[in-house]
Amino acid sequence: MEKNTILAVVLSTVVLIGFYVVQGIFFQPEPPPVQSQQESVIQATDTPVLDTPQSQTMGEAQMSADLAAQEAAEQAAQIAAQEAAEQAAQLEADDTGAQSVEFITIETELMTIVLTNAGGDMVSWKLKEHLDKDENVEMILRGTNEARAFSIAFGGMDAQPVSSLFHVTRVSEYSVEFYRDFLTPGSNQRFRLIKRYDFKPRDYMFELTVTLDGGNLIPDLNFAGNAYTISFGPQIGPRFEKLDNRYEYRRYNVYINGKSRNVKLGEVVDTRPAWAAISGKYFTFIALPYLAQYNISFTDTPEPGLNSASRFFLMRPPVTASRTSDTYRFYLGPKSQEALGAYNTGRNEHGLRDTNIMVLASSRGILAPLENILKWLLIFFQGIVHNYGIAIILLTLLVKILFFPLTRKSSEATLRMQALAPKIKELQEKHKGNPQKLNAEMAAFYKNEGYNPISGCLPMLLQIPIFFAMYNLFNNHFDLRGAEFIPGWIPDLSVPEYLWLFPDDFKLPLLGWTALRGLPFIYVGSQLIYGKVTQMPGQQSNTQMKMMLYVMPIMFFFILYDVPSGLLIYWIFSNILTLVQQVIINKYIIARKKQTEPESVFAPQQNKNVIAPKKKKKH
């Protein structure tokens, strides 16, 4: 019995060993799929620990868990693959006839527009009546990548724009429609996205209609809190070197409750503004939504190949209807009062009134009224002579004529100062070492003579606001863009002229000049002559007056080296006309006044408050 027991154990051991050997050779189990460390941890954490007999090893328990996880993963993958295959098959069937990228060109009297069926987006908008060097201004400024304006993304600002190929229907000469079917996530309900562009022959504004059509069903169009987002970017044109807020800039505005306000980049505006805009120095992009509710935001997300980007986003809330159509109007064109003002008066092909988008072209600040007056006068003179350079000279002449009475008084004060110069020099020598005593004596002397030394500076002080108003006018007035004065030298009054343009990428060390200009040298020469002629006696030895006479013009030479040509033309001719005025005053007006009035204002005057001593009677 004992031998039989031993033999049975031995035979059982051999059979078991043989079974595992044969199974290991001919029936190897499939290895479990490779998983990430995170997935392994989750499975290890989520798999319950079962009570097993003592004979079951930990390796067998782990193998069972791995097999169960593998079966679950394979089942989920099969379901996902089946759903993806069904969606791909449905969309592929819908894409019949839209298997290649197409470009559609629209020609109007004002623009050349290029659309693409890739997303139904706009890739180009060129203005025929405005030039950027030798080419038409491109309002959709691209970087290294192709521009994609008026894209639609299902979701918010961070969602990827739709780039699928759409069907194209050319509705008319100025209308194009794109459409394509999509499936909602999760429920896989079919809905159709339609983008329709309607342009006008002579209007910088166009209409974009976005339609979501679910047929007989109400699709669940809620993608992270939004149905879709329309975006414009990457930048409005024309081309620029940098946004320095003088030659070019970008401002982001919304119009809410009758007021325009600036918007910070990244700020989400949820108060349903009447319009939103990205505006540059001379051109602007404006969005006019016609929805009950929407959010707006701007960003400057970088774009390869662009110094700076300016993007616009309009987020539409979720749709709860089987079919909905949203209408938007977008303006891409000049930021001029004439062009934008048409949408206040109804003189546009859309019949719009009282949009108030013309505030984008209006002057701002405390000098705005003065600037508007000067602008009106400049346009008036240009209408007569048809040359803005000559119009600037005529405007300068008008300003000098209006200020002539003050200039005459200033000149009279200068001549009066000449008469008082010997006495002033005597007081300066007498109290040379006592500045306080000198100031007191000078004040008493001016009082006794009835002379106000500030009277000679009054015309100059009054012209300072005009100078700043002129600067804003010449720097921002749209009609001066590309306005030629002297062919071959001053082709554009809104930018600096040049005699010689330095080679590409070369800048004068320290100064940063990119060209040799002529007007700044003419200006500094006229300013030195002007200061020399109008200098009062006794000022040649005054250190402060020497600085005003010589240092200030040279300092302004560097400050004004790169200002618009129109401003320097104004200042140069202002100096020239002032010199002419001075000659006239000195030779004619003052000489005639001296002949007719012996006791004129130029003779020393006795203070009326001083009591003259009584003459003694002769006995």
22 within some domain: no
Most confident residue range from 68-82, 194-208, 444-458: 194-208
Of the two residues 295 and 579, the one the predictor is more confident about is: 295
212 in a structural domain:
yes
Note whether 301 and 374 are same-domain residues: no
What percent of the chain stands above pLDDT 70? 74
Kindly tell me if the per-residue pLDDT of 42 is higher than 60: no
Residue 10's pLDDT band (cuts 50, 70, 90): very low
Residue 81's pLDDT is 40
Residue 49 pLDDT exceeds 70: no
Residues 265-278: pLDDT tens digits? 999 999 999 999 99
Report the pLDDT value the prediction gives residue 56, as an integer from 0 to 100: 42
The per-residue pLDDT for 80 is 43
Residue 86 lies in a domain: no
Q: How large is the average pLDDT for residues 14-26? A: 45
Is residue 20 over pLDDT 90? no
Residue 456 covered by a domain: yes
Q: Which residue has the higher pLDDT, 303 or 87?
A: 303
Q: Domain check: are 282 and 171 in the same one?
A: yes
Same structural domain for residues 388 and 326? no
Same domain, 257 and 394: no
Spatial CA neighbour of 572 closest among 616, 532, 518? 518
Q: What is the CATH number of the domain that holds 284?
A: 2.70.98.90
Per-residue model confidence as pLDDT tens digits over 67-126: 665 566 556 545 544 444 344 445 444 444 467 999 999 999 999 999 999 999 999 999
Same domain, 146 and 245: yes
Q: Which has more confidence, 333 or 429? A: 333
Q: Is 255 helix (H, G, I), strand (E, B) or coil?
A: strand
pLDDT for 117 equals 96
Of all residues in the chain, what percent carry a pLDDT higher than 90?
40
Q: What is the DSSP letter of 191?
A: E
Instruction: At 140, give phi and psi (nearest 5°).
Output: -105, 90
pLDDT tens figures, 408-419: 777 777 667 777
Q: Compute the distance between CA of residue 344 and CA of residue 236 in angstroms, rounded to an integer.
A: 24
Final residue before a domain boundary, out of 318, 335, 352 = 335
pLDDT at 110: 97
514 inside domain = yes
- pLDDT for the residue 551: 80
**Per-residue pLDDT tens for 526-575?**
888 877 776 654 455 556 566 667 788 888 888 888 888 988 998 899 88
Of 27-31, 87-91, 142-146, 406-410, give the range with the top mean pLDDT. Answer: 142-146
pLDDT band at 592 (very low <50, low <70, confident <90, very high): low
| pLDDT tens profile 215-244 | 888 888 888 899 999 999 999 999 888 888
The answer on 373 and 318 residing in a single domain is: no
Same domain, 299 and 399: no
Looking at residue 63, its pLDDT comes to 55
Question: Given a cut of 50, is residue 51 above it in pLDDT?
Answer: no
**What's the Cα-to-Cα distance from 239 to each of 188, 231, 282, 330, 506, rounded to whole Å?**
44, 20, 12, 21, 19
Task: Please say if the pLDDT value at position 24 is more than 60.
Answer: no
- Does one domain contain both 273 and 198? yes
Which residue, 335, 358, 376, sits at the end of a domain? 335
Confirm whether 3 is domain-assigned.
no
The winner for highest mean pLDDT among 186-195, 291-300, 521-530 is 291-300
Q: What is the pLDDT of residue 528?
A: 85
- 160 and 114 in a single domain? The answer is yes
Whole-angstrom distance between the N-terminal and C-terminal Cα of the chain?
185
180/286 same-domain check:
yes
What is the residue range of 499's domain? Answer: 368-596
Average pLDDT of the residues of the chain: 79
The answer to whether residue 339 scores a pLDDT higher than 50 is yes
Query: Same structural domain for residues 375 and 505?
Result: yes
The answer on pLDDT for 248 being more than 90 is no
If asked whether residues 216 and 309 sit together in one domain, one would say yes
Q: In what order do the strands lie in the sheet with 103-107?
A: 103-107, 111-116, 121-132, 135-138
Count of structural domains within the chain = 2
Report the C-alpha gap between 397 and 308 in whole angstroms: 42
Q: Where among 294, 312, 335 does a domain terminate? A: 335
| pLDDT at site 58 | 47
CB 264 within 8 A of CB 241: no
Domain contains 495 = yes
Residue 424, C-beta contacts closer than 8 angstroms, at least 6 positions apart? 442, 445, 538
Judge contact between 333 and 297, C-beta under 8 A.
no
Task: Evaluate whether residue 8 is within a structural domain.
Answer: no
